[in-house]
Amino acid sequence: MSTPIYNRVALIGLGLIAGSMAWAMKRGGVAGEIVGYARSEETRDTVRKLGFCDRVEDSAAAACEGADLVVLAVPVGAMGGVAQEIAPVLADGCTVTDVGSVKRDVIDHVAPHLPDNVHFVPAHPLAGTEHSGPNAGFAELFDNKWTIIVPVPGADRDAVARLTSFWQALGANTDEMDPEHHDLVLAVTSHTPHLIAYTMVGVADDLGRVTDSEVIKYSAAGFRDFTRIAASDPTMWRDVFLTNKDATLEILGRFTEELFALQRAIRTGDGDHLFDYFTRTRAIRRGIIEAGQDTDAPDFGRAQKK
């Protein structure tokens, strides 16, 4: 059994990410005790039955008492309120982190509530599925995926190193970024693609010429993958777009320019432009596969029907 990196970890929010963290902690002996809290009584009862927390408390403050790591795994729009609630009970020297997809807004709303005797080390695991809730978690979610550590100015380097070791023990690769760069990168790699997926599925829904049964029956790989992405948690993604507004709008502007150029090429029959563009973008896909972040198996690695 490995020596725990943290003696007591408090998970505030018990959905896919927190559940997967708990299972990965248990797999690797990373935590001495895992304590959880979720706002929903139904979720708390479900987690008690699933058993990935050693204790489930009925308040965030109770869950955080005595913890040396507190993980905020709630929608980014709720993190400031949670930080304010738990601040009075945080143990001296504990680390507070998060798993939010936006960093600048989280730092601005969480840091002011935290006492000076705790360490705030924001983080973001770049892993997930379209599923949500405590039943969706699994220990392997972070294996060979990246977790971005986003230390605040003046962060305690020992606390940063300890959290980095924690994520590596859960199976993740780690890197550090400043919050503004993180938010811009994620606007490119996650936020804008999700918005486009939501839009494409919405367009299909609005097209009166295409019936619902046809959309479902004839879904080819492209549209099917859009619907998979668009099935993600609506509360989380509402908060992401509202809290990463500037970076998302910047990338959407660039996307619109690219889309207009492709429209022009199609309208004018510019096959050379289309071929060159698709060749360049195809190389990005090859790079993702070579980096081990996806597989070139049919249907993008999803299990095949037997």
Task: Locate 134 and state its tokens.
Answer: 């405590």
- Interval 59-63 mean pLDDT: 97
Structure confidence at residue 101 as a pLDDT band (50, 70, 90): very high
Compute CA distances 162 → 5, 97, 166, whole Å.
7, 12, 6
- Residue 7, pLDDT score: 97
> Distance between CA atoms of 146 and 277, rounded to whole angstroms?
28
What percent of the chain has pLDDT above 90? 63
- Residue 211, pLDDT score: 56
> Distance between CA atoms of 9 and 53, rounded to whole angstroms?
10
Query: Are the CB atoms for 93 and 133 separated by under 8 Å?
Result: no
CATH topology of domain 181-269: 6-phosphogluconate dehydrogenase C-terminal fold (1.10.3660)
The CATH superfamily label for domain 6-177 reads NAD(P)-binding Rossmann-like Domain (3.40.50.720)
- Residue 223, pLDDT score: 73
Structure confidence at residue 306 as a pLDDT band (50, 70, 90): very low
Q: Is the pLDDT of residue 122 over 50?
A: yes
Residues in CB range of 66: below 8 A, 6 or more apart: 8, 91
Ranges of each domain in the chain? 6-177, 181-269
> Distance between CA atoms of 54 and 287, rounded to whole angstroms?
41
Q: What is the pLDDT of residues 15-28, one digit of tens each?
A: 999 999 999 999 99
Phi, psi (deg, nearest 5) at residue 297: -65, 155
Q: Is the pLDDT of residue 261 over 50?
A: yes
> Distance between CA atoms of 202 and 255, rounded to whole angstroms?
18
Q: Which residues pair with 96 in a beta bridge?
A: 70, 120
